[in-house]
Amino acid sequence: MDHLNSDLLRTFLAIADTGSFTEGAARIYRSQSAASLQIKRLEEIVRQPVFERHGRGVVLTPAGEQLVPVARDVTGILESTLRELTSDDLHGKLRLGIPDDQSRDTISRIVGEFAQLHPSVELNVTCAISSGFPKAIENGALDLAVYEVEHLHEGVELLAEETTHWMVSRYHDLLSRDVIPVALFDRDCWWRDAALNSLNELGRPFRIVFSSQSVTGVAASIEAGIAIGLLAKSSQSASLRLLAPNEGFSEMPASKLVLANCKTANGPAFTAMKTAIRNAFNTM
């Protein structure tokens, strides 16, 4: 006799929660084809479909809706039991800074892995623009922080590196204007300095028409056709295009994502968090 197993149920929940085989598979670190095979196997066991196609995604069938609460209960009990069996004696409090432009999946990997292994450690996570993180590390307000720099310096560990580019909406001709509208970050940081230096080298009149503390805000203004702006390559959406050197925009410096810690931070919990952060960025 066939039986439901937790692996099938986890895949089912990931797809149900995202409404997409592609996004659901990514959430559990599987290929789309592997996730599809698991759902096919699940439907063979319950002898009826659990999803039906809807536009570019999927929706639950009545059988799928009936299965959701059961799947949550089963996987929840298993995860709780695993935490109890594998948890250690680590205690204390950790103050962590993570840039708000990092994806929710990355943040979930960091916090989720750590919390599952070390449930007795209290986490205080600051998710914000990272320009203030170096000062917070220096004065001891944060134990660990992930932030972006243009140049590496002593005491930081490189996690990832990404190119930056000027971008503009594909559907708005902003470069034909006499004065180019620009979106910038509204705090002092190397991104803002690099953008202003590039604009001065361009030799054309420009005006800052939009400022934001967040990458989301700057990207939204560019997509809306309000302004051009400087973003990391990973922030490019289908509605944005890169501005090229033949349009007067030279190559921009790469952004280096680094990990730094307060000099007084130490102990097993601190070491475990550094490992969780490294693991999260190694899977990107």
C-alpha span between 72 and 1 (Å, rounded):
23
pLDDT at 88: 55
Q: What is the pLDDT of residues 202-258, one digit of tens each?
A: 999 999 999 988 888 899 999 999 999 999 888 888 999 999 999 999 889 898 999
CB atoms within 10 A of CB 103: 10
Predicted pLDDT at 106: 76
CATH class of the domain comprising 6-86: mainly alpha
Residue intervals in the chain for CATH 3.40.190.10: 92-162+256-282, 164-252
Q: Is the pTM of this model over 0.95?
A: no
Instruction: Assign 183 a pLDDT band (cuts: 50, 70, 90).
Output: very high
Q: How far apart are CA 122 and CA 254, in angstroms?
A: 34
Residues of the chain with CATH 1.10.10.10: 6-86
Question: What whole-number distance in Å separates Cα of residue 82 and Cα of residue 78?
Answer: 6
pLDDT band at 99 (very low <50, low <70, confident <90, very high): confident
Pick the CATH number of 92-162+256-282 from 2.40.30.10, 3.90.470.20, 3.40.190.10, 3.40.630.180: 3.40.190.10
- Check if the beta carbon of residue 15 is closer than 8 Å to that of residue 61: no
CATH number of the 164-252 domain: 3.40.190.10
Spatial distance between the Cα atoms of 209 and 15, rounded to a whole number of angstroms: 40
Asked whether 96 and 142 are in contact (CB, 8 A), the reply is yes
Least confident piece of the model among 16-25, 249-258, 275-284? 275-284
Structure tokens at 52: 């039906």
Three-state secondary-structure class, residue 232:
strand
